[in-house]
């Protein structure tokens, strides 16, 4: 059996990204999202989850984009910040996160990974790339030709193996007041995730979508 989690990163980043993720969940194949708790759209995202998105699982997308000077206590400051974000998530959502990952994959940093592993074990949370779930990233870089429906269908056919796979994505709408290097591509991803051809490919390949 092949099980696929389609996780939308950057939930809560802005109103337009929230709109895109919700649409990709309701009309496309997105089953899960990762919430940034200190961004302009975080409150809106949490409210939408509580009222309209019962089937969308939501994890914590740890965001360490704020400048932090390299000081001897940097590790402990980051540790404190991540735990604050976890508490903020629980306050906003009224529940624990379904999983743990990070913006720009900062948890891959060898100096930070031990702390993320510790927190994941302490809270019994799956940590991206450190659980039985195989991880694939689709999009996230400026290669529009790689995020069309044909490319995604090919990935579904060739890269989704037996067991559990997470495919991360970044759907969304443009916001004039939200600056990001990955902008127009988000709308391309959204259109692709909602393309009926993609849904048909999931069914044809016998892939089960899960949260």
Range 2-209: architecture per CATH = Alpha-Beta Barrel (3.20)
Structure tokens at 8: 């939308």
Residue with tokens 């994505």: 169
pTM of the full structure: 0.92
Task: List, for residues 151-191, the tens digit of each pLDDT value.
Answer: 999 999 999 999 999 999 999 998 877 777 677 889 999 99
Task: List, for residues 32-87, the tens digit of each pLDDT value.
Answer: 999 999 999 999 999 998 887 778 999 999 998 755 556 667 778 888 899 999 99
Apex 134 CA angle, 132 and 135, nearest 5: 130
Q: Is 63 exposed, middle or buried (0-12, 13-18, 19+ CB in 10 A)?
A: buried
Residues 6 or more apart whose Cβ sits within 8 Å of residue 104: 65
Answer whether 19's CB lies under 8 Å from 178's CB.
no
User: So where are the chain's domains?
Assistant: 2-209
């Amino acid at each position: 059996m092949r099980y696929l989690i389609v996780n939308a990163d950057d939930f809560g980043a802005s109103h337009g990204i929230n709109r895109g993720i919700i649409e990709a969940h309701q009309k496309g194949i997105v089953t899960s999202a990762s919430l940034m708790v200190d961004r302009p759209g975080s409150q809106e995202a949490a409210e939408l989850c509580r009222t309209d998105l019962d089937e969308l699982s939501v994890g914590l997308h740890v965001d360490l984009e704020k400048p932090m000077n390299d000081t001897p206590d940097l590790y402990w400051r980051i540790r404190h910040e991540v735990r604050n974000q976890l508490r903020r998530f629980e306050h906003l959502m009224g529940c624990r996160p379904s999983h743990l990952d990070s913006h720009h994959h900062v948890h891959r940093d060898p100096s930070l990974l031990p702390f993320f592993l510790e927190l994941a074990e302490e809270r019994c949370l799956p940590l991206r790339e450190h659980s039985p779930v195989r991880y694939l990233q689709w999009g996230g870089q400026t290669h529009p030709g790689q995020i069309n429906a044909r490319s995604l269908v090919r990935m579904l056919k060739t890269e989704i193996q037996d067991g559990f796979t997470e495919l991360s994505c970044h759907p969304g709408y443009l916001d004039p007041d939200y600056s990001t290097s990955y902008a127009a591509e988000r709308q391309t991803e959204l259109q692709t995730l909602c393309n009926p051809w993609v849904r048909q490919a999931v069914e044809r390949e016998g892939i089960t979508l899960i949260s």
